[in-house]
Structure 1
Amino acid sequence: MDETRYKIVFDGTLMPQTPLETAKENLARLFKSDLARIEALFSGQLVVLKRDLSEGEADKYLQALHNAGAQARKESDLVSSLSLVETEDHPGAASLAAAATEPAADAQRMTCPKCGHEQAKASECGACGIIIDKYLARQAELAATQPAEPAPAAPRAQSPYATPQAPVGEALPEYGELQYFSVQGRIGRVRYLGWSMAMILALIPAFALFAALTAVSHTLGALVLIAACVGMAVVSIFFGVQRLHDIGWSGWLWLLNFVPVVGSVMALLMLLVPGTTGANRYGPPPPPNSRGVVALAWASILVPIVGILAAIAIPAYQGYLTRAQESAYSQDQDYDSAATAEPQADDEGDEDASAVDTDEPSEQ
């Protein structure tokens, strides 16, 4: 029994929370076409994007379309599975035998006059789905009515229903535009760490200004501090939402950072979960990381480690100095007490000697 074949169909429905313009741009990159041709896919009618696929191939195309924001689905392709007409991918036993015994079997193949697809002779094109006889008749009518300017055969890329020119599942070479102060777009884990470190470094001049103004006026210093804290919070929201978009999650999940316990887990997930490799419903992938971003990301990791080590080492060193000073002080005290004890002993000996001398004449 032949393997079940599938087709990919699309009726213009989008994945949840996917903007229409974003989905159109993703599909245009995916099919290597322009937006004008992609508009035809959103007419509300059911469109067959790909036919005669195995289950694995259909799942691959379906996943790529879902990542692009199109809620396509796969259905059994009864035409390819049950049709008695032989196709290129499923030749009949008679054709196989003829190909093995007759070198002239190439004469039984044909080329679609519209998209150029080569296949076994059939009344319908397996790639673009046209009825060949009707298409040729229509072309003949156009040639008869306009002999001066014959209508050229439409290239394969002009049809929005044609097979994509490249494998759908491959990584897209195009990248999205970076937006520092927006909740639109995507950033990866390394850029998220690097940008966060750059924001912290940018706050150092703000705190220095706060200290200088506080010496002059406490009100001005407080205003500068409040403005710096609010700006840091807003920019942190921008960075966090774009990081969640890169994973494929909604930006509203950033609010989980305020939930006790759950917030700690959410922060770890934002640092550890990798982003989607291709385009998703929030746009194309971010561009590669620059050296500056990588350096800032490493700094954001090493600075806390150095701070923890310093917090452990500095008190231990201070304790060592304190113990050394106490030991030296105790030795000095012992030496002083010993030095003061020796003269007292000599004075007592002299007193005893004088007492003996004064007693001896009285005895005589």
Structure 2
Amino acid sequence: MTATRYKIVFTGDVLPGHDLNTVKDNLAKLFKSDVNRINALFKGTNVDIKRDLSEAEAKQYFNALQKAGAEVKIEHDLSASLTLVETEDHPTATTQTGTAHDSQMTCPKCGHVQPKNSECSACGIIIEKYLARQEEVAQSTPAMAMQPTTPYAPPKSAVSENLPAVGTLKVFTTDGRIGRLRYLAWSLVMTLVFIPAIAIFAVALGAGDSSGILSIIAGVIGVAALAVVSIMIGVQRVHDIGWSGWMILLTFVPAIGTVFTLLMLLMPGSTEANRYGPPPPPNSTAVKVLASLWLVLIVGGLLLAILVPSYMAFLENSMK
């Protein structure tokens, strides 16, 4: 008796709580295909994604596809489970007529049926040479050319339930994602680098010689570089929320920029992969410490803003 086989059927919909574009991106990564071909699956009708699977394989595909956000189901694959088995009471037609066909042959090129011979009497080919040539052509054809190019083709790699993977951290790029604490930590480092650059720039402005001019040029380049890197990490923070990186330009708009910056600091990122990549890795101890230093700087700045004027007023009164 043939073991029961299963198939994975995609309903054409996404699971509740999942973004359509995100699910398409996840499926494109899972099947190692492009999004345009994946779009053909989303027609609202059932599509057989994978057939002729064992129960364990079907569950693996089911879990991976559901984790990607696709609404799928497992069904019995009847066409793969049914086989024709010859019995003593019901011999196959091939067995009954096998003896009669033993002395006949079919030409592999034109299909002509004739008594066994090394040459076809209809098309004149030498059968052995023709078969050898066909085998050479088959071996020289790239394996990928023989595979289907439809979006319904099975995955080209093993399906893993570890979807999505954790992203790689890169500072000098607009690709990828970073969370709130890492954005605060990286911004603090940028600020600590920015302050000396501003100091050098200010000192250079006070100098009138040629060295001062060179310092001004170096300061401008440094400030511009820091601004570019700040925009890069800001884009990564926006990506983590699921927004387009172009929205970082809102930070340059008066009033709106302040509100948008607060949203960047307060809104959490998605815990799953989105169109901008997998989620960032967990925050390290250094990231948490650097992010918490912002609180120290803010509280310290407020205290200085209150105490310094009071102290200056006290000095003025004491000198009278």
Higher helix share: 1
Question: Per the alignment, do residues 300 and 282 of structure 1 end up closer, same or farther by CA in structure 2, a change over 3 Å counting?
Answer: same
State the superposition RMSD in angstroms. Answer: 4.1
* 1:256 corresponds to: 250
Measured after TM superposition, the shift of residue 174 of structure 1 is 2.8
Alignment of 1:144-223 (within 5 A): 160=155, 166=161, 172=163, 174-207=165-198, 209-210=200-201, 215=207, 217-223=211-217
* Structure 2 residue 293 is matched with structure 1 residue 305: no
* 1:290 corresponds to: 284
* 2:89 corresponds to: none
Question: Per the alignment, do residues 256 and 45 of structure 1 end up closer, same or farther by CA in structure 2, a change over 3 Å counting?
Answer: closer
Which of these two proteins has the greater Rg computed from alpha carbons?
1
Partners of 2:84 and 2:173 lie apart in 1 by 55
Measured after TM superposition, the shift of residue 73 of structure 1 is 6.6
For this pair of structures, how many residues does the alignment match? 219
Measured after TM superposition, the shift of residue 9 of structure 1 is 2.5
* 2:12 corresponds to: 9
SS class of match (1:286): coil
Measured after TM superposition, the shift of residue 127 of structure 1 is 3.6
SS class of match (2:166): coil
* Structure 2 residue 28 is matched with structure 1 residue 24: yes
Question: Per the alignment, do residues 225 and 244 of structure 1 end up closer, same or farther by CA in structure 2, a change over 3 Å counting?
Answer: same
Give the one of 323, 327, 338 matched to 2:317: 323
Map Cα deviations across residues 94-123 of structure 1 (whole Å, 9 max, x no partner).
xxxxxxxxxxxxxxxxxxxxxxxxxxxxxx
Partners of 2:218 and 2:288 lie apart in 1 by 31
Instruction: Name the amino acid aligned to 2:12.
Output: V
Q: Give the TM-score normalised by structure 2.
A: 0.56
* 2:79 corresponds to: 131
Give the one of 254, 266, 272 matched to 2:266: 272
* Greater mean deviation of Cα atoms: 210-219 or 278-287: 210-219
8 Å contact 1:8–1:49 — kept in the other structure?
no
Instruction: Name the amino acid aligned to 1:223.
Output: I
Partners of 1:233 and 1:19 lie apart in 2 by 34
Give the one of 212, 220, 227 matched to 1:233: 227
Map Cα deviations across residues 244-276 of structure 1 (whole Å, 9 max, x no partner).
110111111111112222211111100000000
Partners of 1:20 and 1:325 lie apart in 2 by 74
* 1:88 corresponds to: none
Q: Give the TM-score normalised by structure 1.
A: 0.50
Partners of 1:19 and 1:226 lie apart in 2 by 44
Q: Name the % identity.
A: 40
Partners of 2:260 and 2:67 lie apart in 1 by 27
Instruction: Name the amino acid aligned to 1:185.
Output: G
Structure 2, unaligned stretches of length 5 or more?
Answer: 1-8, 51-62, 86-152
SS class of match (1:131): helix
Partners of 1:277 and 1:293 lie apart in 2 by 18
* 1:247 corresponds to: 241
Measured after TM superposition, the shift of residue 304 of structure 1 is 2.4
Partners of 1:131 and 1:258 lie apart in 2 by 62
* 1:352 corresponds to: none
Map Cα deviations across residues 286-325 of structure 1 (whole Å, 9 max, x no partner).
0111122111111123212211210110110221232233
Measured after TM superposition, the shift of residue 209 of structure 1 is 4.3
Partners of 2:27 and 2:235 lie apart in 1 by 19
Structure 1, unaligned stretches of length 5 or more?
Answer: 1-5, 29-34, 51-59, 67-71, 78-125, 139-157, 327-364
8 Å contact 1:22–1:283 — kept in the other structure?
no
Partners of 1:256 and 1:43 lie apart in 2 by 32
Question: Per the alignment, do residues 206 and 299 of structure 1 end up closer, same or farther by CA in structure 2, a change over 3 Å counting?
Answer: same
* 2:150 corresponds to: none
Partners of 1:193 and 1:239 lie apart in 2 by 10
8 Å contact 2:23–2:68 — kept in the other structure?
no
8 Å contact 2:178–2:236 — kept in the other structure?
yes
Map Cα deviations across residues 142-166 of structure 1 (whole Å, 9 max, x no partner).
xxxxxxxxxxxxxxxx9659xx875
